[in-house]
Structure 1
Amino acid sequence: MSRPRSAGVRPPTLQTLPEAIVRNTAIAGARTRSRIMAVVKADGYGHGAITVARAAIAAGARWLGTTDIAEASRLRAGGLTAPILTWLNPSGVDAESAAAGRIDVAVGSVDELHALIGQTSPTPVRIHVHVDTGMAREGCPEHEWDALFAGAQQGERQGKVRVVGLMGHLPSADHADPEANAPAVSRTHQARRAAQAAGLDVPLAHLAATSGTLTDPATHFGMVRFGAGLVGIDPSGTTELHGASRLTAPVVHCAAVAAGTPVGYDGAYVTDAPTHLCVLPVGYADGIPREISADAAVEIHGRRRRVVGRVSMDQTVVDTGADAVPLGTIATVFGPSDGATPTIHDWARWAGTIPHAIVTGIGPRVKRTFA
């Protein structure tokens, strides 16, 4: 089914709020003495990587983090000059592109290191040795550390790489429990000692992401990687951050219906009284979760209005009760908390997921703007 259209009606829009990113970065800065890396992977958690990066740098972040060299290169093309680290690089690392773009890369295995050293680049590639500190998901396992560090030291002598950092991950930081983080902290110290014993000078170590940044100074080392927190998400649930986006959609259809009216596919919801139903031109193809609880709602004219029936690919139905809502009226699907407006955390709860999935799931048909 195609989207209903009305002449002169504004399209569904996701607006990024840079001031909120500035405020969230400042909160992180107040929790740590270490430098801050603003992680803007997945297009800045769906908020626009360049916009998020600029706001974070303006607020004091000194590094940027991305998934791969392509993401980092787009930041460079956008005029950002801060150091950038990429640490997933699913398609591998092109040494020449990394060196030319002044882009650091993480190396988490002996094979990755050999593949990098085997390439030709005009200058050494800056690398962060990536060690497994307890997740068994990425990073070099402990029994291969000696081989990795020795290989990196040899690569430095050959002028192929320059080791500038050491990194790991906290497997349980969202629990906000320093005791749960202690094994990863200990492994990071152990890895630094092993690297130094192999003849490497590792000037910068980093372990903590958003939760560790906000809750456990022992995890901070020389830098923290603040990503989800930039856009208002604290996985630890300990800190009130500021929502950094607002998703709106216009009312494109409104009708009065009788009690007993089935709504949407299979009549999954049936009205229990005469009411008005409005249609918003967004659906699961645009990132509105299909499986949501009966509490799901949007804000219209300062009041929460329930989403009813099944979310369709292109449309969502809202019950506005006794109020007939004019076409073109703007509904706020989510935004910064103000009492009536649902937040991304509300939607995550209604959908049984995490807020990261809500903001990164907004589809390309939704217009992007910036406050």
Structure 2
Amino acid sequence: MRARAEIDLGALRANVRALRARAPRAQLMAVVKADAYGHGMLPCARAALEAGADWLGTATPQEALALRAAGIRTRLLCWLWTPGGPWREAIEADIDVSVGGMWALDEVLDAARASGRTARIQLKADTGLGRGGCQPADWPELVGAAVAAEAEGLADVTGIWSHFACADEPGHPSIAAQRDRFDEAIAYAEKAGLSPEVRHIANSPAVLTLPEAQYDLIRPGVALYGISPVPQLGTAADFGLRPVMTLSARLGLVKHVPAGHGVSYGHHYVTPAETTLGLVPLGYADGVPRHASNKGPVLIGGRLRRVAGRIAMDQFVVDLEGDELLPGAEAVLFGPGDRGEPTAEDWARAADTIAYEIVTRIGSRVDRVYVNEGLGEMRDWVSSNPSDGQQSGRSRPDRQQPNRR
């Protein structure tokens, strides 16, 4: 392979179990939006369920419907809706849908009438994030309409939920304020006659740092994939998690160049001495951030090296400092760190971003190779289009099996 993103589903299952242990009295929703943060939605969803996840969570209805089309029947919440969305299809597929305003409630109730089925809805309260969800001033109207919809048999309010703005900054004053507003929203809804199955607000950083915010359900996202959402407090290993993705490529070229040789666009790197250069066939079209030019770390030939010059669309260069490596040598951009390779957090620092973005942006030109796919066995799965949740995780029996570890 030119490049591969190895996805360790055994690590993902272990992460699910570790996160469940932090909230033993709460249900766990495995968030698999954005193609499971770039890891492949279907294989990761199945692995999370094998490890004991109670719910799955997606952003778009297309993601949720793809899970249903793949035969996954577990409880499933979808929250990123726009007017005219496939409400009826979601209702008929037994998907819980988020409602954060009257327009959404009106549309989902119209779809319930058309389908002749009761819609499962979860009311989202804006407790301070200022993004999705219903503002406190509008909460009484939304709750009242939901109560009426339940009485009419059009809806079943299965949950009340919200989302933290600053859970990744422990001690931030907004955290306590949001919890207070969330408690008020729940109390108002219950007094009005609603009896939600689940109340939830805890995302990955809250799961790790705010046990008082667990309520009935936790919603880990990036933590499932072994990335610390609070790197200032600890690494993934510090929280008992293991990174799931390892991104690597094979050198496409190794060549000798003299001192003073410009490297890549703009010549932002010039060789300080006679040296060898290695060409890594990955670029920003594959999700390698251009902002990490001259900084991104790579493990090649047992040594940690840096990107030399600008990262281009399809490739970048590393100064091998005279080492005589052969084309085909492995270049590991990030992984768990066991072999001294960089982590996604190292690339996040180099690109001045967060590790969430590093893994999520890895594109469809990079084959996903799944290891530890089965319980007690290891199989090699490759997605022909890992950005498409309906295709991700198709078996490729013609591929060589990975070595057992």
TM-score normalised by the shorter chain: which range applies? Answer: over 0.9
Indicate conservation of the 8 Å contact 1:298/1:333, yes or no. yes
**Partner Cα distance (1:191, 1:42) in 2:** 29
* Worse overlay, 301-310 or 232-241: 232-241
1:275 to partner: Cα distance: 0.9
Indicate conservation of the 8 Å contact 1:38/1:53, yes or no. yes
What's 2:394 paired with? none
**Partner Cα distance (1:122, 1:260) in 2:** 74
Q: Which amino acid aligns with 1:66?
A: T
* Worse overlay, 316-325 or 177-186: 177-186
Correspondence 1:20 to 2:11 = yes
Indicate conservation of the 8 Å contact 1:93/1:116, yes or no. no
Correspondence 1:51 to 2:39 = no
Counterpart of 1:74 in 2: which secondary structure?
helix
**Partner Cα distance (2:126, 2:369) in 1:** 39
1:336 to partner: Cα distance: 1.1
**Partner Cα distance (2:93, 2:361) in 1:** 29
What's 2:322 paired with? 322
RMSD: 1.5
1:340 to partner: Cα distance: 2.1
Pick from 147, 151, 159 the counterpart of residue 165 of structure 1: 159
Indicate conservation of the 8 Å contact 1:251/1:281, yes or no. yes
Aligned length: 362
**Partner Cα distance (1:32, 1:370) in 2:** 28
Correspondence 1:348 to 2:339 = no
1:215 to partner: Cα distance: 0.8
1:19 to partner: Cα distance: 1.3
1:315 to partner: Cα distance: 1.0
1:311-339: CA deviations, max 9, x gaps?
11111101112212211122111111125
Distance 1:217 1:178, change over 3 A: farther
What's 2:137 paired with? 143
Indicate conservation of the 8 Å contact 2:297/2:346, yes or no. no
Q: Residues 21-100 of structure 1 correspond to what in structure 2 (within 5 A)?
A: 21-33=12-24, 34-90=26-82, 92-100=84-92
- In structure 1, stretches of 5+ residues that fail to align are 1-9
1:92 to partner: Cα distance: 4.5
**Partner Cα distance (1:246, 1:185) in 2:** 36
Q: Residues 326-337 of structure 1 correspond to what in structure 2 (within 5 A)?
A: 326-337=326-337
Q: Which amino acid aligns with 2:77?
A: L
Counterpart of 1:79 in 2: which secondary structure?
coil
* Worse overlay, 174-183 or 215-224: 174-183
Indicate conservation of the 8 Å contact 1:262/1:268, yes or no. yes
Counterpart of 2:319 in 1: which secondary structure?
strand
**Partner Cα distance (2:171, 2:73) in 1:** 36
1:167-203: CA deviations, max 9, x gaps?
0111111012386422111112111111122221222
**Partner Cα distance (2:329, 2:319) in 1:** 14
Indicate conservation of the 8 Å contact 1:121/1:160, yes or no. no
Correspondence 1:196 to 2:190 = yes
Indicate conservation of the 8 Å contact 1:306/1:319, yes or no. yes
Counterpart of 1:336 in 2: which secondary structure?
coil
Q: Which amino acid aligns with 2:105?
A: L
State the TM-score, normalizing by the size of structure 2: 0.86
**Partner Cα distance (1:178, 1:339) in 2:** 36
**Partner Cα distance (2:283, 2:220) in 1:** 31
Indicate conservation of the 8 Å contact 1:213/1:224, yes or no. yes
1:118 to partner: Cα distance: 2.0
1:84 to partner: Cα distance: 0.3
Indicate conservation of the 8 Å contact 1:95/1:125, yes or no. no
Correspondence 1:126 to 2:107 = no
Query: After TM superposition, which residue ranges in structure 1, 4 or more long, deviate above 4 angstroms?
Result: none
- What is the percentage of aligned positions where both structures have the same residue? 39
1:265 to partner: Cα distance: 1.2
Q: Which amino acid aligns with 2:369?
A: T
1:233 to partner: Cα distance: 1.9
What's 1:104 paired with? 96
Indicate conservation of the 8 Å contact 2:269/2:294, yes or no. no
Correspondence 1:218 to 2:212 = yes
Indicate conservation of the 8 Å contact 1:256/1:324, yes or no. no
1:59-118: CA deviations, max 9, x gaps?
221100001221012112223221000011246443321122110001000121112112
Indicate conservation of the 8 Å contact 1:99/1:122, yes or no. no
Indicate conservation of the 8 Å contact 1:83/1:104, yes or no. yes
**Partner Cα distance (2:6, 2:144) in 1:** 48
1:234 to partner: Cα distance: 2.2
**Partner Cα distance (1:64, 1:91) in 2:** 23
- In structure 2, stretches of 5+ residues that fail to align are 372-405
1:223-256: CA deviations, max 9, x gaps?
0101111112222233523111111111111101
Indicate conservation of the 8 Å contact 1:42/1:67, yes or no. yes
**Partner Cα distance (1:125, 1:69) in 2:** 14
